[in-house]
């Protein structure tokens, strides 16, 4: 849990978020709107790239359907808002969800954490830390303090993956990584659409799809 790469990644997000929060106070709504659009377009681009790496489209579809239906049933995004203590502050919740998905939905999270836990190789997470730190500055300038709380998500998820790395090495196989990337890509596309205000999509309600994806990949390999 307290692996050096996890601590560095968490610290990078905290530092970047604090810088973004303070710089955001000096930005007018006009310039914040420009940042929203930039982040939205970038997220769309990342989503397309990640989705095209999918291994089995049916696994991606099944993961999104099952995860989305469960998430909608229990309204996970709203419950996350309550956990953050700011359920009525939509910008805060949206910032937390956006940063959490952006920082965790990519394959670097899984591969980097497993390599750090099994091999003691922290290179991928260190690179990811730099990327997350830079991204958190722009995100926090736009969304505010909700982005700062995403550091907790990164610490818990990556710390858990590092701790369980010995049991999760199979996730590095192309089939698992491809399907995970495909699901993460669709979630990022949803985020981009939301940020560009094309349609309000509760991306937080799809978070379980990231957990369901490797389960469905495993099942397809058993029977196909």
How many domains is the chain partitioned into structurally?
1
Cα separation, 44 vs 193, in Å, equals 7
Lowest mean pLDDT among 88-97, 119-128, 143-152, 162-171: 88-97
Output the pLDDT for position 20: 95
Range of the domain at 168: 4-223
Output the pLDDT for position 182: 97
For residue range 200-212, list pLDDT tens digits in order: 999 999 999 999 9
For residue range 83-113, list pLDDT tens digits in order: 776 666 788 888 999 999 999 998 999 999 9
Output the pLDDT for position 87: 63
Contact residues for 104 (Cβ-Cβ < 8 A; gap 6+): 153, 154, 157, 158, 210
């Amino acid at each position: 849990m307290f692996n050096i790469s996890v601590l560095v990644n968490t610290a990078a997000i905290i530092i970047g978020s604090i810088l973004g929060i303070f710089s955001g106070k000096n930005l007018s709504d006009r310039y914040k709107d420009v940042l929203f659009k930039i982040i939205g377009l970038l997220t769309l681009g990342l989503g397309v790239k990640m989705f095209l790496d999918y291994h089995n489209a049916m696994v991606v579809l099944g993961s999104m359907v099952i995860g989305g239906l469960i998430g909608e049933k229990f309204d996970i995004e709203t419950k996350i808002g309550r956990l953050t203590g700011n359920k009525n502050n939509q910008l805060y919740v949206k910032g937390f969800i956006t940063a959490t998905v952006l920082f965790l939905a990519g394959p670097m999270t899984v591969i980097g954490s497993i390599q750090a836990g099994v091999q003691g190789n922290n290179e991928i997470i260190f690179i990811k830390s730099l990327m997350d730190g830079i991204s958190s500055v722009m995100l926090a300038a736009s969304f505010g303090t909700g982005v700062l709380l995403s550091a907790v998500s990164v610490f818990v998820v990556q710390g858990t993956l590092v701790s369980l790395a010995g049991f999760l090495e199979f996730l590095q196989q192309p089939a698992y990584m491809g399907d995970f990337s495909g699901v993460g890509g669709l979630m990022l596309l949803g985020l981009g659409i939301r940020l560009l205000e094309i349609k309000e999509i509760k991306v937080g309600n799809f978070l379980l799809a990231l957990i369901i994806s490797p389960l469905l990949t495993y099942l397809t390999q058993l029977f196909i």
